[in-house]
Amino acid sequence: DTAVSQTPKYLVTQMGNDKSIKCEQNLGHDTMYWYKQDSKKFLKIMFSYNNKELIINETVPNRFSPKSPDKAHLNLHINSLELGDSAVYFCASSPMGNSPLHFGNGTRLTVT
Amino acid sequence: GQQLNQSPQSMFIQEGEDVSMNCTSSSIFNTWLWYKQDPGEGPVLLIALYKAGELTSNGRLTAQFGITRKDSFLNISASIPSDVGIYFCAGRGNSGGSNYKLTFGKGTLLTVNP
């Protein structure tokens, strides 16, 4: 199936741990994104990459580091996890920067 | 930064009723998008609008790009139980990095009673 797929779907971990979330899109899109959805369902952009180049970096703690090995993949690594990092993280992609986004099904991160 | 006000926050309606929700922006957008999110899934695009005044339909859904480019509405006609979910508006500006940045409203939670 053509899609934006992210793994894992659920991630439960303890404070202070380091974890990664992976995202892959087979839609041939040039631009990929990470969004964070909080408990009130608010979607806020974190990062955007266009052809492996970082183009948007919102006010996100340095503990969050995106990595794009190629334009089909955008992974998110989080160091020293904190309770406030608990949220659903969505990966998305678009053909060009000004096109609609296609979202993955999210990774629910719970930090205990 | 850009801010979007989406209303209402939630709606409880009877099956068969029509629904309307809207978004207003503090700045001009060149793209308005409407998404629906079901539980446990990512937002799915419903309608995309690219021109001021544009009115677009997708089945029972109709959305319009406001003339001022600072607002948009979404109407759902003859609602059915599977319309339940969270509806998000999203807008994009037209300069520099804002070409890529899609700003979302806070969502409208729709409940349809059979």
3-state secondary structure of B97: helix
* Chain A CB contacts of B33 below 8 Å: 100-101
CA-nearest residue to B41 within chain A is: A105
First to last CA, chain B: 41
Q: Looking at residue A55, what is its pLDDT?
A: 84
If you write DSSP's letter for every residue of A69-99 in order, what string do you get? EETTEEEEEE-S--GGG-EEEEEEEESSTTS
Q: What are the pLDDT digits (tens) for A79-94?
A: 999 999 999 999 999 9
Q: Looking at residue B93, what is its pLDDT?
A: 81
First to last CA, chain A: 34
Closest Cα in chain A, distance from residue B2 (Å): 12
Closest Cα in chain B, distance from residue A95 (Å): 11
Of A72 and B95, more confident? A72
Q: Looking at residue B41, what is its pLDDT?
A: 95
On the CB side of A44, how many CA atoms lie within 13 Å of its CA? 16
Taking CA atoms, A32 is separated from A54, A74, B20, in Å, by 10, 7, 31
AA identity, residue A24? E
In the sheet with B71-76, reading across from the earlier edge strand, the strands are B4-7, B19-25, B71-76, B61-65, B55-58
Which candidate from A33, A40, A56 shows the least CB-CB separation from B97?
Answer: A56
Query: What are B49's strand-pairing partners?
Result: B32
Beta carbons of A41 and B31 less than 8 Å apart: no
Strands B108-113 and B10-14: parallel
Chain centroid, CA B20 distance in Å: 10
Q: What are the pLDDT digits (tens) for B25-51?
A: 988 999 999 999 999 999 999 999 999
